[in-house]
Structure 1
């Protein structure tokens, strides 16, 4: 089954593959891609024999965060529309986080901003040696609020304090050391590692696997409840409409340093 910006399919074993499909813009997310993720999860949720979901990105890069041209357009719209966009984005991450079957992200190339949130929300993450990561929102006057709960669980609060505040880029080996990535493979080797992990999941009892995942989330206090989600959405939407966001996005379009850079 397909949605223009997201492709999904499921094989006879119950192995689903969800592929982000905006390779010309490095799979940067916009409203269509967010809706495509929801459509994929809606469709796969109806599959009684679903066993595992594998997430991939078409092209050279896994996911380059938000499409900043689209974000600029959203920021110019009403507060209600900004709240709606943030809610759809946050709910897509929460649905992935709490998906009742195991999720596996296979990451190559760039994984920036929201891409790191997708990775953090997955149960298993494999990155090829060419992968590069960044929690980059503050560079553009935005904030990563709706993915910070998952990032803090994956990387630890201490590491998020560094990388979400500096926006530094880091490679696959560092992502593995931090806990965002479980395994690093040679460039071009994602398929082989992915097949091995899928086979491991298929050997396990489906109901026991689901129960283990959900109990693990509860034990780690990792569920984002409705109240916290509402707060994250409201803050995320407000930040997009602040002067810093306008300046940050303008500096992106104009390929210059932002006004807050000294000198």
Structure 2
């Protein structure tokens, strides 16, 4: 099943695979891909035998953040439309974060911006040695607001402050040291490493697994309430329409340094 930008299937064991499918743009997210994630979660949520969701990215890269040409077009639309886009994006991450069955991300190549949010929202993350990460929104005059709660839970405030404020890129082993990634495997070894995780989950009682996940989130105060979610959405939408975002996105298109870079 698919909407072309997201593919999903479930096997007889109850193992669902959700595949981001915009390889020509490194699986950068746009409105279609966000809706595809919602469609996949709606469809899989109706499956009575669902045991685990595995997230993958087609092509060389897992997920390269936002499609900046799409972001530029959205920014020119009304505040209401920008709020709608931010809400759909935030709700997709929240739904993944609170999915009642375990989630597993298998990451190769680039995992930037929103991709790091997807990784942080998953229960288990395996990355190839060639994986490369960055929380890159501020480079383009944007902000990672709607994924910051998950990032702070995954790697802690101290490391989020470094990498969200510098936009530095870091490799798979550093991601593992930080806690964003649980396991690093050789290039070409994602399927094998992922299947070991899947088999471990399938050995466990389904209802007990769900209860353990949801109680863990509650104990860590990791659920985002409606008020906080609304604030995150509002700020995320406003930032996209401010002068810094206009300049940052223009610098990307024109392949130059942004105006705020000294000299």
TM range (shorter): over 0.9
Q: Residue 7 of structure 2: SS of its match in structure 1?
A: strand
Instruction: Tell me the distance in 2 between the aligned counterparts of 1:257 and 1:48.
Output: 51
Task: Number of aligned residue pairs: give it.
Answer: 263
Partner of 2:48: 48
Where do 1:139-218 residues align within 5 Å? 139-218=139-218
Instruction: Tell me the distance in 1 between the aligned counterparts of 2:48 and 2:3.
Output: 21
Partner of 1:71: 71
Q: Residue 12 of structure 2: SS of its match in structure 1?
A: coil
TM-score normalised according to structure 1 size: 1.00
- 1:85 is aligned to 2:85: yes
Residue deviations 1:216-258 (CA, integer Å, cap 9, x gap): 0000000011100000000000000000000000000000000
- 1:232 is aligned to 2:211: no
Residue deviations 1:117-139 (CA, integer Å, cap 9, x gap): 00000000000000000000000
Q: Residue 42 of structure 2: SS of its match in structure 1?
A: helix
Say what the alpha-carbon RMSD is for the aligned residues. 0.2
Partner of 1:8: 8
Q: Residue 3 of structure 1: SS of its match in structure 2?
A: coil
- 1:26 is aligned to 2:26: yes
Partner of 1:246: 246
User: In the TM superposition, what is the alpha-carbon distance from 1:140 to its structure 2 partner?
Assistant: 0.0
Q: Residue 187 of structure 2: SS of its match in structure 1?
A: coil
Give the unaligned 5+ runs of structure 2: none
Give the unaligned 5+ runs of structure 1: none
Instruction: Tell me the distance in 2 between the aligned counterparts of 1:96 and 1:225.
Output: 15
Instruction: Tell me the distance in 2 between the aligned counterparts of 1:224 and 1:171.
Output: 29
Q: Residue 193 of structure 1: SS of its match in structure 2?
A: helix
Structure 1 residue runs of 4+, over 6 Å off? none
